[in-house]
């Protein structure tokens, strides 16, 4: 009704406001989601905001501090203007600059040190030596960041009005969200705005979590697109495109190419804030610049700038702020299997047995919420998954060097009566560990078990209570090796606290489980002709293809983005902030917790919502350390935030995906995003989670995921079974891909040791390693594992070839992983490669030396106990180098280790060991590519007894050497 009245008043509003309404005002006032009626207390237009004037500047040893005073009458666009701000500029390291703008009275929310610890204060002054330089104008206040080495180049970040396009700027499409009324610095209690100019069409990566239609490189409005609006609000939703998802990461990497010098440099910008926000990337029509605009509904403007200048160094420098990734146990790199819909323990055991019968390696068996009694955390169903039988089953897995991971949902069931015994709830009530309503009563939501409560990670007793719940669960028979955390945005199915006046004994929920009679999974696989083969999912039946779509026009699930809503309440409104960010669910509380829900210390959910998942991960990591002392916690989680990588890996922007070809492709950009976010142990649910997969898609996906860090096949309840043994072609492809993966485990393990030690990303976009080749800047259908392994997967149906680019423009020799043949690649353009079903293209870079497991076995432990081999691919001038990190693979904290260095040069290969870990397994053989036939081969200064040379690949193979990797190893050929 109110919206109708407002539409009627629209003709009168220019007179009411004394001016013409802006595009943004118009959509705010007339949107159907307007509630209240007090928009007159907010201007809804930043064009009248006065900005700030700098005063009282004082230089410090490490930077400067100054006051910022409101430069004119308050505009109160979406809240109350803050009159007095403070800016602190700190040159923290030579490559990191910290610019923090906050309210002088410190009333705005900032992330507590107890949640995410900041880097220590600098001990050395970097004001004269920093790669970055801070500049400012006093009135109106604006700042810009430049490189010290390039003072006259375009700034890396530039908030000066003169550097930005003239406003007002109409929407770049019929979407009024892109209207730009002005670019002043705005700092209000519920709205903050800051805008920076960018070089037109620059390359931006990051800002997530998102499944982006533009790929790994974000749309900026210069390639026929409308730019990007990245909303920062953790959200429970199954992988829509171009909408906010489970996590919030406001870090971007910008990669600039200088067409004069043909050289590139990267830098990074990180906004350290948990506030709900829109971050916009746009290029206004006829503008000579692009821009990035931050619109926050709370908090402060706390920026870190990273100078790079390489993509890898930007990511490492970001890790210096948010922390480095947790150490993964070696077994985490094995193949893992799950199904939401294993009805009982016998079916779960059957899958393990069938995998072994098919000789498809299985490292980890998972259980979804089928495990639970009444869908409650920390339980097992006494009929279908009795604790005693689960104890025996998990014991069998452990005896076979396999592992077990169960799920833990974010919400705990609320006990409904005195006869309902549920200790995690009753003990939680006693210890006051659950979130509350503003009046102190228990906050009640609704998730799978019915009415639920939510742990408050800010409460004093929560960690001990949480640890006790895991310890009791493990002792009861669910002897887990790791934990899978789900629904931790946190998600709730009701709107607001839904316990008041409710019938708490009613355990039904508004969302029916997939596969239940009310919510069947009936759709056939994508573009599948069911008249040929019924529900089998087979790729062909009687030699006839079951696929009926044009591969370039695969069907998809369309999820539209909502327009801007309106919350025009006066004062501070926690439930409907005056500026409505573009949350895909609409109001912020939809499918989430009410934003006025309260945490210990008085924190409102509005301010800490995006932290919920990360804080749960931190608590769970610590709990596992207590329950499994001395072992590395293994954790996979859905919602993430900066710093989550300290505690967990991740699956969900890649996992609650769809069994469609384009979602297999999307998994690559997701993996690359999380390398930037310092959460490198990631991977999508192989073969797709939602809907029904088919033979060909699963075949290709099992191959692709074998080259992702986290490798799990998982699908939804009642969908077609997609275990890799279901189709012979998938089983064959899986065995081949897993064998390659397991042989590469020393390489994978070393990359992740480097990630945990230095923040170096294990998986890389091609331009990370080849930053001066513009044709690579948008490539995200291929990727690199480390610097040396190039993966070119098939991502479309009915294909027998695949196009891929080989970086280096002819200066790098790429060799086929399987045959060791040199690739005759087209310089700087695509090369067509054969890719029959069951084959994924893998290539090795020259100048590399890669330690391998010589005999891949059924489990990681069995594989690790076997001998090593070494693959060396020489460059054109005969050089090669590599390293390998070796330890026991499980100790926490990591114990003794040894780092091996492999150096090839001038007909020699030297292996040197540094460290105290004793490597028991011998080096069985060495393969060197790029060697002309030698006349003499020496190993350890003696004539080698077993060697062959294969001229077609210029390959020298020295076998049966039984080399001791704890000492000097020397090979020479002439």
The DSSP result for 900-952, as a single string, is EEEEEETTEEEEEEEES----S-EEEEEEES-PPPS-EEETTEE-SSEEEEGG
The CA-based dihedral angle spanning residues 367, 369, 373, 378, taken in that order and rounded to the nearest 10 degrees: 80
Looking at the structure, do residues 175 and 234 belong to the same domain, yes or no?
yes
Residue after which a domain boundary falls, among 297, 322, 347: 322
The H-or-E segment that residue 960 falls in is: none
Looking at the structure, do residues 315 and 408 belong to the same domain, yes or no?
no
Q: What is the reported pLDDT for 397?
A: 98
Q: What is the reported pLDDT for 4?
A: 26
Residue pLDDT, tens place only, 295-314: 999 999 999 999 999 999 99
Domain annotation covers residue 15: no
Q: What is the reported pLDDT for 19?
A: 38
Residue 507 pLDDT exceeds 80: no
Residue 520 pLDDT exceeds 70: no
Domain annotation covers residue 364: yes
Q: How far is CA 515 from CA 304, 370, 396, 713, 717, in A?
A: 47, 12, 30, 18, 5
CA 111 to chain CA centroid, Å, is 21
Q: What is the reported pLDDT for 518?
A: 60
Nearest to 369 by CA among 714, 611, 42: 714
Burial class of residue 851 in the structure, from the number of CB atoms within 10 Å of its CB (0-12 exposed, 13-18 middle, 19+ buried): buried
Residue after which a domain boundary falls, among 749, 773, 794: 749
Say if CB 459 and CB 439 are below 8 A apart. Answer: no
Say if CB 413 and CB 450 are below 8 A apart. Answer: yes
Q: What is the reported pLDDT for 218?
A: 98
The token pair at 904 is 């090839």
CA atoms within 13 A of residue 114's CA, in its CB half-sphere: 6
Say if CB 660 and CB 555 are below 8 A apart. Answer: yes
Give me the residue label for tokens 């500026």: 579
Domain annotation covers residue 527: no
Looking at the structure, do residues 175 and 282 belong to the same domain, yes or no?
yes
Residue pLDDT, tens place only, 447-457: 999 999 999 99
Residue 641 pLDDT exceeds 60: yes
Mean pLDDT of 872-884: 97
Q: d(Cα 253, Cα 270) in Å, to the nearest integer? A: 9
Q: d(Cα 343, Cα 349) in Å, to the nearest integer? A: 11
Nearest to 573 by CA among 596, 594, 552, 549: 596
Residue pLDDT, tens place only, 655-702: 689 999 999 999 999 999 999 999 999 999 999 999 999 999 999 999
Domain annotation covers residue 296: yes
Catalytic residues: 486, 489, 656
Residue 540 pLDDT exceeds 80: no
Say if CB 402 and CB 858 are below 8 A apart. Answer: no
Domain annotation covers residue 33: no
Nearest to 192 by CA among 162, 132, 232, 155: 232
CATH number at residue 663: 3.20.20.80
Mean pLDDT of 788-802: 98
Looking at the structure, do residues 735 and 792 belong to the same domain, yes or no?
no
Mean pLDDT of 468-472: 98
Residue pLDDT, tens place only, 577-589: 999 999 999 999 9
Q: Which residue has the higher pLDDT, 13 or 190?
A: 190
Domain annotation covers residue 182: yes
DSSP code, position 35: B
Q: What is the reported pLDDT for 9?
A: 28
Number of structural domains the chain divides into? 3
Residue 25 pLDDT exceeds 90: no
Mean pLDDT of 733-753: 98
The H-or-E segment that residue 15 falls in is: helix 13-17
Strands 814-816 and 841-845: antiparallel
Please give the mean pLDDT across all residues of the chain: 90
Nearest to 895 by CA among 871, 918, 913, 921: 918
Q: What is the reported pLDDT for 667?
A: 97
pLDDT band at 38 (very low <50, low <70, confident <90, very high): very low
Q: How far is CA 645 from CA 111, 310, 489, 792, in A?
A: 17, 22, 16, 27
What is the CB neighbour count within 10 angstroms for residue 740?
19
What is the CB neighbour count within 10 angstroms for residue 813?
21
Q: What is the reported pLDDT for 495?
A: 86
Q: How far is CA 835 from CA 504, 662, 665, in A?
A: 57, 18, 16
DSSP percent split of the chain into helix, strand, coil, nearest 5: 20, 25, 50
Nearest to 596 by CA among 441, 447, 425, 466: 441
Domain annotation covers residue 25: no
The CA-based dihedral angle spanning residues 176, 179, 184, 187, taken in that order and rounded to the nearest 10 degrees: 10
Give me the residue label for tokens 């700190």: 90
Parent domain of 457: 336-516+574-749
Residues β-bridged to residue 849: 872
Q: d(Cα 76, Cα 38) in Å, to the nearest integer? A: 13
- What's the count of helices (H) and strands (E) in the chain, helices before strands? 17, 47
Non-local CB neighbours of 705 within 8 Å, separated by 6+ positions:
667, 683, 684, 686, 711, 712, 713
Looking at the structure, do residues 211 and 353 belong to the same domain, yes or no?
no
Looking at the structure, do residues 630 and 744 belong to the same domain, yes or no?
yes
Residue pLDDT, tens place only, 249-300: 999 999 999 999 999 999 999 999 999 999 999 999 889 999 999 999 999 9
Looking at the structure, do residues 267 and 190 belong to the same domain, yes or no?
yes
What percent of the chain lies above the pLDDT cut of 90?
A: 83
Looking at the structure, do residues 789 and 681 belong to the same domain, yes or no?
no
Non-local CB neighbours of 851 within 8 Å, separated by 6+ positions:
746, 747, 750, 868, 869, 870, 882, 884, 900, 902
CA 203 to chain CA centroid, Å, is 19
Q: How far is CA 596 from CA 39, 433, 608, 691, in A?
A: 21, 17, 11, 36
The token pair at 837 is 């079903």
Q: d(Cα 408, Cα 367) in Å, to the nearest integer? A: 10
CATH number at residue 826: 2.60.40.1180
Say if CB 779 and CB 805 are below 8 A apart. Answer: yes
Q: What is the reported pLDDT for 75?
A: 96
CA 947 to chain CA centroid, Å, is 45
Domain annotation covers residue 29: no
Q: What is the reported pLDDT for 533?
A: 63
Looking at the structure, do residues 262 and 373 belong to the same domain, yes or no?
no
Looking at the structure, do residues 66 and 113 belong to the same domain, yes or no?
yes
Q: d(Cα 274, Cα 639) in Å, to the nearest integer? A: 13
Residue after which a domain boundary falls, among 708, 724, 749: 749
Q: d(Cα 97, Cα 378) in Å, to the nearest integer? A: 45
Looking at the structure, do residues 413 and 312 belong to the same domain, yes or no?
no
Say if CB 88 and CB 100 are below 8 A apart. Answer: yes
CA 166 to chain CA centroid, Å, is 36
CATH number at residue 259: 2.60.40.1760
Looking at the structure, do residues 594 and 454 belong to the same domain, yes or no?
yes
Non-local CB neighbours of 550 within 8 Å, separated by 6+ positions:
none
Residue pLDDT, tens place only, 759-775: 999 999 999 999 999 99
Q: d(Cα 242, Cα 245) in Å, to the nearest integer? A: 9
pLDDT band at 50 (very low <50, low <70, confident <90, very high): very high
């Amino acid at each position: 009704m109110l919206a109708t009245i407002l539409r009627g008043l629209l003709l009168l509003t220019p007179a009411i406001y004394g001016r013409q309404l802006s595009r943004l005002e118009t959509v705010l006032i007339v949107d159907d989601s307007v509630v209240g009626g007090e928009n007159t207390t907010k201007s809804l237009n930043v064009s009248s905001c006065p900005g700030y004037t700098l005063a009282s500047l004082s230089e410090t040893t490490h930077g400067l501090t100054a006051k910022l005073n409101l430069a004119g009458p308050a505009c109160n666009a979406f809240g109350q203007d803050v009159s007095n701000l403070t800016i602190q500029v700190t040159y923290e390291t030579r490559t990191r600059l910290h610019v923090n703008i906050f309210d002088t009275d410190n009333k705005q929310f900032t992330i507590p040190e107890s949640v995410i610890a900041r880097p220590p204060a600098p001990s050395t002054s970097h004001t004269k030596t920093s790669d970055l330089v801070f500049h400012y104008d006093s009135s109106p206040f604006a700042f810009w960041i430049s490189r010290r080495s390039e003072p006259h180049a375009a700034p890396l970040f530039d908030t000066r009005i003169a550097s930005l396009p003239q406003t007002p700027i109409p929407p770049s499409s019929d979407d009024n969200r892109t209207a730009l009324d002005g670019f002043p610095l705005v700092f209000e209690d519920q709205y903050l705005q800051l805008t920076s100019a960018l070089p037109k069409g620059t390359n931006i990566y990051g800002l997530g979590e998102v499944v982006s239609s533009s790929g790994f490189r974000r749309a900026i409005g210069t390639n026929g697109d409308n730019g990007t609006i990245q909303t920062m609000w953790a959200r429970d939703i199954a992988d829509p495109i171009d909408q906010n998802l489970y996590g919030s990461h406001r870090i971007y990497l910008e990669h600039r190419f200088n067409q004069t010098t043909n050289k590139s440099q990267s830098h990074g910008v990180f906004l350290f804030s948990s506030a709900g926000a829109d971050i916009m990337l746009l290029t206004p029509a006829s503008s000579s610049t692009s821009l990035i605009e931050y619109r926050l509904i709370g908090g402060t403007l706390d920026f870190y700038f990273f100078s790079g200048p390489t993509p890898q160094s930007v990511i490492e420098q970001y890790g210096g702020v948010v922390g480095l990734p947790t150490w993964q146990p070696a077994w985490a790199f094995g193949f893992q299997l799950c199904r939401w819909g294993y009805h009982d323990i016998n079916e779960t055991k059957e899958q393990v047995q069938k995998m072994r019968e098919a000789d498809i390696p299985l490292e980890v068996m998972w259980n979804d919420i089928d495990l639970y009694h009444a869908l409650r955390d920390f339980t097992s169903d006494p009929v279908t998954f009795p604790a005693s039988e689960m104890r025996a089953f998990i014991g069998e897995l452990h005896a076979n060097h396999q592992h077990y991971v169960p799920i833990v949902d974010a919400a705990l069931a609320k006990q409904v009566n005195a006869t309902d015994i549920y200790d995690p709830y009753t003990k939680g009530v006693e210890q006051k560990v659950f979130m509350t309503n503003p009046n102190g009563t228990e906050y009640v939501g609704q998730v799978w078990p019915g009415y639920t409560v939510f742990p408050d990670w800010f409460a004093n007793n929560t960690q001990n209570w949480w640890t006790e719940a895991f310890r009791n669960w493990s002792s009861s028979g669910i002897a887990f090796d790791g934990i899978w955390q789900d629904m931790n945005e946190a998600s709730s199915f009701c709107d607001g606290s839904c316990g008041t006046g409710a019938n708490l004994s009613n355990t039904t929920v508004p969302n029916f489980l997939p596969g239940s009679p009310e919510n069947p999974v009936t759709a056939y696989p994508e573009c599948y002709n069911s008249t040929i083969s019924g529900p089998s999912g087979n790729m062909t039946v009687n030699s006839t293809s079951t696929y009926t779509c044009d591969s370039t026009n695969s069907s998809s699930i369309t999820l539209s983005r909502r327009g801007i809503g309106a919350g025009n309440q006066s004062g501070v409104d926690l439930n409907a902030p005056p500026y409505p960010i573009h949350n895909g669910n609409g109001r912020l509380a939809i499918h989430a917790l009410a934003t006025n829900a309260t945490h210990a210390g008085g924190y409102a959910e509005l301010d800490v919502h995006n932290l919920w998942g990360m804080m749960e991960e931190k608590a769970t990591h610590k709990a596992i350390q207590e329950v499994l002392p001395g072992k590395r916690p293994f954790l996979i989680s859905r919602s993430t935030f900066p710093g989550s990588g300290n505690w967990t890996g991740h699956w969900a922007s890649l996992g609650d995906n769809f069994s469609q070809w384009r979602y297999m492709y999307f998994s690559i950009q997701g993996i690359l995003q999380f390398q930037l976010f310092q959460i490198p142990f990631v991977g999508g649910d192989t073969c797709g989670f939602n809907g029904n997969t088919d033979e060909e898609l699963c075949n290709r996906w099992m191959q692709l995921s074998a080259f992702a860090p986290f490798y799990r096949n998982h699908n939804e309840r009642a969908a077609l079974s997609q275990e890799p043994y279901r189709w012979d072609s998938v089983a064959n492809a899986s065995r081949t891909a897993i064998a390659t993966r397991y042989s590469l485990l020393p390489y994978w393990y070393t990359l992740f040791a480097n990630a945990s030690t230095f923040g170096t990303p294990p998986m890389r976009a091609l331009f990370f390693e080849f930053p001066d080749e513009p044709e690579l800047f948008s490539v995200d259908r291929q990727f690199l594992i480390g610097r040396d392994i190039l993966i070119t997967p098939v991502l479309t149906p009915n294909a027998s070839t695949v196009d891929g680019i080989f970086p280096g423009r002819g200066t790098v020799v790429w060799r086929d992983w399987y045959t060791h043949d040199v690739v005759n690649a087209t310089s700087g353009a695509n090369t067509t490669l054969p890719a029959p079903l069951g084959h994924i293209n893998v290539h090795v870079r020259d100048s590399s030396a890669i330690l391998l497991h010589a005999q891949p076995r059924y489990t990681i432990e069995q594989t690790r106990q076997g001998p090593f081999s070494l693959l060396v691919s020489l460059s054109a001038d005969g050089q090669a180098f590599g390293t390998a990190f070796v330890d026991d693979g499980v100790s926490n904290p990591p114990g003794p280790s040894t780092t091996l260095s492999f150096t090839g040069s001038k007909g020699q290969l030297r292996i040197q060991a540094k460290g105290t870990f004793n490597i028991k397994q011998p080096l069985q053989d060495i393969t060197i590519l790029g060697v002309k036939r030698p006349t003499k081969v020496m190993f350890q200064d003696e004539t080698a007894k077993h060697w062959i040379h294969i001229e077609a690949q210029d390959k020298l193979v020295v076998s049966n050497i039984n080399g001791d990797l704890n000492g000097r190893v020397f090979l020479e050929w002439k």
